[in-house]
């Protein structure tokens, strides 16, 4: 069974997992304000393509495979101009009913993310969290040059060229002492 909706906002994740459904949707950046605050201002991003496939989970829990494709723009740490960052993330999830059940699941298997699911799960919030986790800490262009640093000699010359605002003060004090 497959569902496809360009504007799907919420899903019953337990039903998707149990019935092995495949859900395809798009999530716009406007629906993810926390993510938008981390990105380059003024750069448009196409909606993210999101696939959610119900799968057999581990430990008898319902599961789903979340796949996200898209591109965001972040500021380059070297030149501060926008740099495109491709998002291509695939993460398997196990769903539990509440925090107590999540805490009871052993942490030995790192292949699965354990999440408190819902019959009205917000897709944009779920996708936003996964995209934020996949962002690079220091985005930069592949061919970006580091900003030019002044040599010590250039730095001293730059300081010497600046007029000293107190240079005339000494002369004024001498004149005052004579009077």
Residues of the chain with pLDDT under 50: 1-2, 5
Q: In this structure, how many other beta carbons lie within 10 angstroms of the beta carbon of residue 61? A: 19
Residue 13 pLDDT: 93
pTM given for the model: 0.73
Residue 151 pLDDT: 62
Q: How far apart are CA 92 and CA 130, in angstroms?
A: 11
DSSP state, residue 40? P
Residue 154 pLDDT: 58
Nearest to 45 by CA among 142, 126, 127, 146: 127
Residue 162 pLDDT: 67
Residue 5 pLDDT: 47
Residue 156 pLDDT: 60
Residue 31 pLDDT: 93
């Amino acid at each position: 069974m497959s569902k496809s909706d360009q504007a799907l906002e919420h899903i019953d994740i337990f039903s998707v997992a149990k019935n092995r459904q495949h859900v395809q949707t798009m999530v716009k950046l406007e629906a993810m304000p926390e993510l938008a605050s981390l990105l380059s201002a003024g750069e448009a991003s196409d909606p993210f393509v999101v696939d959610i496939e119900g799968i057999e989970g581990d430990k008898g829990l319902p599961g789903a495979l979340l796949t996200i494709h898209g591109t965001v723009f972040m500021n380059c740490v070297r030149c501060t101009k926008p740099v495109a960052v491709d998002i291509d993330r695939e993460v398997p999830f196990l769903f539990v009913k509440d925090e107590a059940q999540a805490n009871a699941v052993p942490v030995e298997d790192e292949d699965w993310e354990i999440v408190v699911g819902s019959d009205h799960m917000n897709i944009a919030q779920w996708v936003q969290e996964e995209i934020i986790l996949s962002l690079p800490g220091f985005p930069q262009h592949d061919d970006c040059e580091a900003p030019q640093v002044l040599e010590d000699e250039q730095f001293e010359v730059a300081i010497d060229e600046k007029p000293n605002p107190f240079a005339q003060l000494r002369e004024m004090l001498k004149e005052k002492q004579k009077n």
